[in-house]
Amino acid sequence: MFVGAVFFPLLGACVSGFLGRWLGDRVAMWSTVFFMALAAICGLLAFWQVALGGQPQTVVLFTWMQVGELSFSWSLRYDTLAAIMVGMVTLISTLIHLYSIGYMSHDATPSRFFAYLSLFTFMMLMLVTADNLVQLFFGWEGVGLASYLLIGYWYEKDSANAAAMKAFIVNRVGDVFFMLGMALTFFTFGSLEFDAIFGAVQNHVNDVFLGIPSLELIGVLLFLGACGKSAQLGLHTWLPDAMEGPTPVSALIHAATMVTAGVFLICRMSPVMEFAPVALAIVTVVGASTALFAATIGCVQNDIKRIIAYSTCSQLGYMFFAAGVGLYQAAMFHLFTHAFFKALLFLGAGSVIHAMSDEQDIRKMGGIWKKIPVTYAVMWIGSLALAGIPFFAGYYSKDAILEGAVAAGTGVGMYAFVCGAVAAFLTAFYSWRLLILTFHGKPRADHHTMEHVHESPLVMLVPLLLLAVGAITTGFVFAPYFIGDAATAFWNGAIYNLPAKDMMEALHHAPHWVPTLAKTVAISGILLAILIYGFLPHIPGRVAAAAPGPYRFLLNKWYFDELYDRIFVQPARRLAVQLWQVGDARIIDGMPNGAAALAAGASRGTVRLQTGKVASYAFAMIIGLVVFVTLFLTGR
Amino acid sequence: MNAAGFPILSLVTFLPLLGVLVILTVRGEEAVVASNARWTALWTSLVTFALSLVLWFQFDRNSPDFQFVERLEWLPDYGVSYMMGVDGVSVLFVLLSTALTPLCILASWESVQNRVREYMIAFLVLETMMVGMFCALDFMLFYIFFEAVLIPMFLIIGVWGGARRVYAAYKFFLYTFLGSVLMLLAIIAIWYQSGTTSIPEIYEFDIPFAMQVWIFLAFFASFAVKVPMWPVHTWLPDAHVEAPTAGSVILAGVLLKMGAYGFLRFSLPMLPDASQYFAPMIYVLSVVAVVYTSLVALAQQDMKKLIAYSSVAHMGIVTLGIFTFNQQGIEGALFTMLAHGVVSGALFLCVGVLYDREHTREIARYGGVAKIMPAYALVFMLFTMASVALPGTAGFPGEFLVIVGAWAVNPWVALGAATGMVLGACYMLRLYRGVAFGRITREDLKRLLDLSPREYTTFAPLIVLTLWMGVYPQSFLSFFSATVAQMVAQHQAAISAASRFAGL
């Protein structure tokens, strides 16, 4: 069961990828769904047994590397943290596989798509069940590869290729720090296995490396790695571009699972992070800033998928600052609920795009809610959950995070709270901006497109409805386990909190005005959006015209892409050409080639001496003789 | 005599020469001769490989000593003998050489059409020389093999190469030969001091520090060119570009390993103090190699040149790992050497596949190949990922271990080496995107055929090896462990002895 949950997707990927051409597309597609369903059954059973039943377990497969004292194995670690992820990933991945059958039905090579999708799921499962940092890194890079392949799935599109490369390379920048974090971890602890690290943390609290406490440095390096994968401020630029991939990919990888790997890493490393207060403060500040920053951009984007992508970026910021203030449980809870409602939103957006004949610009939509009522309903549910409206899933987790930020009682906690509250307002605002522009108002698409607007087939609607159920129920069903009364038994030691700052306890004593405020900003955001876009549609244009500077600043995503292009990409390209043509060709090759030319010249000169005339030889001989004899005589 | 019961190393070394004799005796029409030469070469190299597998199974992985040792007196008055043997450092390189040769012969099956007989002879002689070099336990013997490798390679580039083949061949020969002359001087100096050329005996001999420095520099001149290290790397791209596909494969796969092998076999154990003394210089050169050549690779328009520059970057990781003097670093370096032998060899084969069809290596001439050659695209993707050291492929364990090892010595050096991860991804993905992705714009590309059965056969073992080395590297690492552990221990003992001496 434990092995099956991880390896069935790999089997599915191999069947579809290698045998797809012989099996035919339909068989290949359904075979991956079949294997995913098996994995999901295993995964949910594992969740039941490990998380709810309280029986953690580690399955060791075989040794990976053993070099000196550095030794680690391929193994599957099932504790509560892993079990949550396994259950969630397998379930959502199965639903998205199912949805893709409908969504990709007109594609030329669906077996390739499903192979990638299953491969991704396998890598993600390897990541979350890792028992050491290196296997985690294996999954980490593996999901990066799958993401690269899927973003560039339509490889004939130039923009898709560019986006895929960008995703891989920006992720690699983060991975460099992850790698160095691993090196320092090994240097400090002499091991990369979690149990050995966590057991020895107490002995290394006072270690110093390069004048910095080791644990702090490990925390910062790993967090920088997490920034790459989880698209935090500075390394976020790849995520919006990643929307070039097919929509199910955006739902699975760039919303529900892969991008949350960074949050998972921080939670996994909680026994180390707890002893690194400065690193945690950095996590908090970066997370909070990302939450706000991405939300501001989300308000002005026009591509339906990009809006949701920035929303993902922003929600990931919430998770990070929750972990940063020490509330890993809430971070994981938000990760869990977010997976459901964000996958729902993306798949809903996919359904809209499908209905609108591949149109993604919300300015060209509108007035379609009667034609696609189910999609409309689930988008509402997803948005309500995202905005944190009471009794929907997002409400419980987001509330806990905001309360925790206040309860932490620190300066950075307060900063996080302020950013989080403003971001919550903006989140509600852009969600309803999207809903209204997409579904309401006068139709802005051309007549031809409007005639073709149709509800998606059943194979797409079933996953949507199931996810909608998740977006409604996961909040109140699981709140007691994740952050409520049953939390201690549920987590079962998978997450470590310093006894000195018991955040779970502090959470219950957060001031009462916090949840009230959270609800207020969310609802006012919704009302403002409805008011502006529903009833006063000329206002946004006027606001944009009145403040063109800020508007363009937001529309161009704070000019991050341009900045990076100027300071990294262009100089690197120029330097590369310079090094090649000047450094290699002219200087390094110039020397031996010059020496060769010199030698050739000298020998040509020598050749000229050999004229072959006896007279000149004799003359030279006599001269020489005279010189020698003179020297001989005078010298004596 | 030894664990195998017969002189296996000599047999593996000289068996290819038997094939050469057979090929030489063949007479008849040109087509018949060519076909016979191909088959004879293939079978000879396969038998050699099968024989060398004995080493895989019978090598005692727990012993750090030389195994399968053979010794015959040669010039007893001068202390020179014919001595062969392998330890954990060299045994896998013997196997790498014997494994790559049949693949090279397969890869040249159709692409080489003129002077087939001479070509096959050159390859078999090359195999003898490579294997002999890794097995030699006597300095003179080593030097002979080390130099003799140049001759068949020089011919392979110079006769069967591309348009600028003569320039490239001369450059290759002169660069590597210049260093070797200095090495010969160093060898004579050591012999003069110790009175023997037997490598295990010299290991026991202490060379004074001042002498170590000079000998180190002489060795360095030779090995640094072979590796190649920055800034003496420029012969490599030219040699690669002009060499035929199989020549590139063997050049990248085995010949580049000779320099790094030399460092491990001679510099480190014989000259511990000088190695320690010069280590910072090596770090700097290695990091420069990684960053500089990665950037240069980024600007290349020629597929082979790009991969050649990436080789220099990978070899920077190797030299860095060797001079960390710790278990992780050295084992990482050894593993990177093996992995690079497999992966970059395979990448050159990938280029060769396209070159055979289109007769150009310019990236811009391709695009959208994934559409018409899906199997090829998959294979190419695997090796691209292995080259950027994706975990689970052969490239990762080595790079990871070197970075971990380097961190213990100097974190900034580790950071420099790790930037190669980003730049490596940049140039390899750029290459892959340019070749495989995009829309097909040229008509002639639409007629390309996917991999032929012969090409599948060539790639299959490399694919298996790449995944095997990534998922279960332990079966390779276990060969190194004992030898490297002893090497590290002896190095530390020598250094601490020297520093105690200095303290007095």
Task: Please tell me the distance from the alpha carbon of residue A186 to that of residue A174, in angstroms, as a whole number.
Answer: 19
In terms of domains, do A401 and A478 share one? Answer: yes
pLDDT in tens, B220-245: 888 888 888 878 888 888 888 888 88
User: A156 vs B472: CB contact, 8 Å cut-off?
Assistant: no
Q: How far apart are the first and last CA of chain A?
A: 104
| Residue B115 φ/ψ region, left for φ over 0, alpha for ψ in the -120 to 50 degree band, beta for the rest | left
Contact B292, B445 (CB under 8 A): no
- The better pLDDT of the pair A128, A540 is held by A128
Tokens of A474: 């996961």
- For chain B, give the mean pLDDT: 86
Quick one: pLDDT at residue B335? 92
pLDDT confidence bin for A539, thresholds 50/70/90? confident
Handedness of CA A27, A30, A31, A32 (dihedral sign): positive
Q: Are residue A13 and residue A90 in the same domain, yes or no?
A: yes
Q: What's the pLDDT at A411?
A: 85
Residue A624 lies in a domain: yes
**How many structural domains comprise chain A?**
3
B296: chain A residues, CB-CB within 8 Å: 576, 579-580, 583-584
Give the CA diameter of chain A.
122
Residues of A in contact with B387 (CB under 8 A): none
Residue at A419 is within a domain: yes
CA B338 to chain centre: 7
Same domain, residue pair A394 and A504? yes
CB contact under 8 A, B392 and A138: yes
Residue A551 lies inside a defined structural domain of this protein: no
Of the candidates B174, B400, B419, the beta carbon closest to that of A176 is on B419
Q: What would the 3-class secondary structure string for A53-120 be?
A: CCCCEEEEEEEEEEECCEEEEEEEEECHHHHHHHHHHHHHHHHHHHHHHHHCCCCCCHHHHHHHHHHH
pLDDT band at B1; cut points 50, 70, 90: very low
Contact A67 B300 (CB under 8 A): no
* Cross-chain CB nearest to B296 (options A172, A186, A576): A576
Examine the domain organization and report whether A149 and A96 are in the same domain. Answer: no
> How many Å lie between the alpha carbon of B250 and the closest alpha carbon of chain A?
24
Same domain assignment for residues A621 and A508: no
Cross-chain Cβ contact A180/B368 below 8 Å? no
Which of B426, B451, B480, B481 to substitute to test the interface with A, most A CBs within 10 Å?
B426
Tell me if A186 and B391 make a contact (CB, 8 A cut-off).
no
- Range with top average pLDDT, A94-98, A203-207, B228-232: A94-98
Q: Say which of A65, A161, A589 has its CB closest to residue B477.
A: A65
Look at B473 and A580 and tell me if their CB atoms are within 8 Å: no
| CB–CB contact B421 A577 (8 Å) | no
List CB contacts of A429: < 8 A, sequence separation 6 or more. A299, A525, A526, A528, A529
Do A356 and A459 lie in one domain? The reply is: yes
Contacts of B403 in chain A (CB under 8 A): 179-180, 183
Among the residue ranges A73-82, B27-36, B181-190, B282-291, the one predicted with the least confidence is B27-36
3-class SS of residue B81 = strand
Residues of chain B in contact with residue A141, where contact means CB-CB under 8 angstroms, are: 390-392
Contact B390, A145 (CB under 8 A): yes
Candidates A141, A165, A210; nearest CB to B391: A141
- Return the residue of A nearest to B472 by Cα: A64
Co-location of A458 and A501 in the same domain: yes
- pLDDT higher than 80, residue B398: yes
Interface test with B, best of A6, A19, A66, A67 (most B CBs within 10 A): A67
* ipTM score: 0.89
Which of B328, B407, B433 is closest, CB to CB, to A161?
B433
* Residue from B407, B450, B469 whose CB has the most chain A CBs within 10 Å, to mutate: B407
| Domain presence at residue A571 | no
Asked if B426's CB is within 8 angstroms of A169's CB, the reply is: yes
Q: What is the DSSP letter of A497?
A: -
Q: Looking at CA atoms only, how far is residue A166 from chain B in angstroms?
A: 9
Does A400 fall in a domain? yes
Return the closest-CA partner of residue A101 out of A91, A87, A92, A111.
Answer: A111
Q: What is the pLDDT of residue B151?
A: 87
Query: pLDDT for B143-158, tens place per residue?
Result: 889 888 888 888 888 8
d(CA B86, CA B59): 9
**Tokens linked to B355:** 């070159």
The model's pLDDT over B82-112, given as tens digits with 9 standing for 90+, comes to 888 888 888 899 999 999 999 988 888 888 7
Query: Are A529 and A455 contained in the same domain?
Result: yes
Residue B501 has pLDDT above 70, yes or no: no
Nearest-neighbour CA in chain B from A172: distance (Å): 5
| φ, ψ of residue A537 in degrees (nearest 5) | -65, -10
Phi, psi of B301, rounded to the nearest 5 degrees? -105, -15
Which band of pLDDT confidence, cut at 50, 70 and 90, is reported for residue B4?
low
pLDDT at A551 over 80: no
pLDDT at B300 over 90: no
Nearest CA in chain A to B479: A67
Query: Are A572 and B400 a contacting pair at CB < 8 A?
Result: no
Q: A557-561, B9-13, B456-460 — which is least confidently predicted?
A: A557-561
The CA-to-CA distance between both ends of chain B, in Å, stands at: 46
Q: Note whether residue A579 is domain-resident.
A: no
User: For a pLDDT cut of 70, what percent of chain A falls above it?
Assistant: 99
Other C-beta atoms lying within 10 Å of the C-beta of residue A566: 11
Give the pLDDT of residue B226. 86
Are residues A351 and A461 located together in one domain of the fold?
Answer: yes
pTM: 0.89
Q: What average pLDDT does range A183-187 have in this prediction?
A: 90
Say if the Cβ atoms of B411 and A179 lie within 8 Å: no
Q: Which residues of B touch A583 (CB under 8 A)?
A: 292, 296
Inter-helix orientation angle B395-409/B327-358, to 10°: 140
Q: What number is the average pLDDT over the span A506-516?
A: 80
Residue B190 has what pLDDT?
A: 86
Q: Which domain holds residue A100?
A: 1-131
Closest residue in chain B to residue A152, using alpha carbons only: B437
CB contact under 8 A, A180 and B327: no
Q: How far is A67 from chain B (nearest CA, A)?
A: 6
Structure tokens at A121: 């799921």
Q: Which chain A positions have a beta carbon within 8 Å of B406's beta carbon?
A: 183
Size of interface A-B (CB pairs under 8 A): 144
Shared-domain flag, residues A335 and A219: yes
What is the rounded average pLDDT for all residues in chain A?
85
Q: Residue A172 and residue B430: Cβ atoms within 8 Å?
A: no
**Which residue of B415, B439, B472 is in closest CB contact with A156?**
B439
- Strand, coil or helix: B198: strand
Residue B503 clears pLDDT 60, i.e. is over it = no
Among A527, A546, A565, where does a domain finish?
A: A546
A552 domain-assigned: no
Burial status of residue A577 (CB atoms within 10 A of its CB: 0-12, 13-18, 19 or more): middle
Residue B280: how many CA atoms within 13 Å on its side-chain side? 1
- H helix or E strand, kind and range, residue B86: strand B80-86
User: Chain A contacts of B407, Cβ < 8 Å?
Assistant: 180, 183-184, 186-187
B contacts of A70 (beta carbons < 8 Å)? 327-328, 401, 404
Structural domain ending residue among the three candidates A131, A150, A181: A131
What is the C-alpha separation between A580 and A507, in angstroms, rounded? 59
How far is residue A481's CA from residue A397's CA, in Å, rounded to a whole number?
A: 12
pLDDT at res. B502: 62
Are A104 and A154 in contact by the 8 Å Cβ rule? The answer is no
CB B52 within 8 A of CB B98: yes
Q: Does residue A374 carry a pLDDT above 70?
A: yes
Answer whether residue A140 is part of any domain: yes
A35 CA to chain B: closest CA distance, Å?
22
Q: Are B422 and A161 in contact (CB < 8 Å)?
A: no
Domain boundary among A504, A522, A546: A546
B188's tokens: 């004579």
* Inter-chain touch B474–A583, beta carbons under 8 Å: no
For the stretch A216-270, pLDDT in tens is 899 999 999 998 888 888 888 888 888 888 888 888 888 888 889 999 999 999 8
Angle, CA of A32, A37 and A41, to the nearest 5°: 150
> Pairing between strand A212-213 and A70-78?
unpaired
In the 8-state DSSP scheme, what is residue B28? S
Contact assignment for A579 to B408 by CB distance below 8 Å: no
pLDDT at B464: 92
Q: What does the pLDDT read at residue A582?
A: 75
Same domain, A50 and A122: yes
**CB B371 to CB A142 under 8 A?**
no
Per-residue pLDDT reduced to its tens digit, A463-481: 899 999 988 888 888 888 8
Chain segment B318-365, per-residue pLDDT in tens? 999 999 988 889 999 999 999 999 999 999 999 988 888 888 888 888
CB atoms B421 and A175 under 8 Å: yes
**Phi/psi of residue A147, each to 5°?**
-65, -45
If pLDDT is split at 50, 70 and 90, which confidence band does B439 have? confident
Whether residue A114 sits in one domain with residue A226: no
Q: Do A66 and B171 touch (CB under 8 A)?
A: no
* pLDDT at residue B406 tops 80: yes
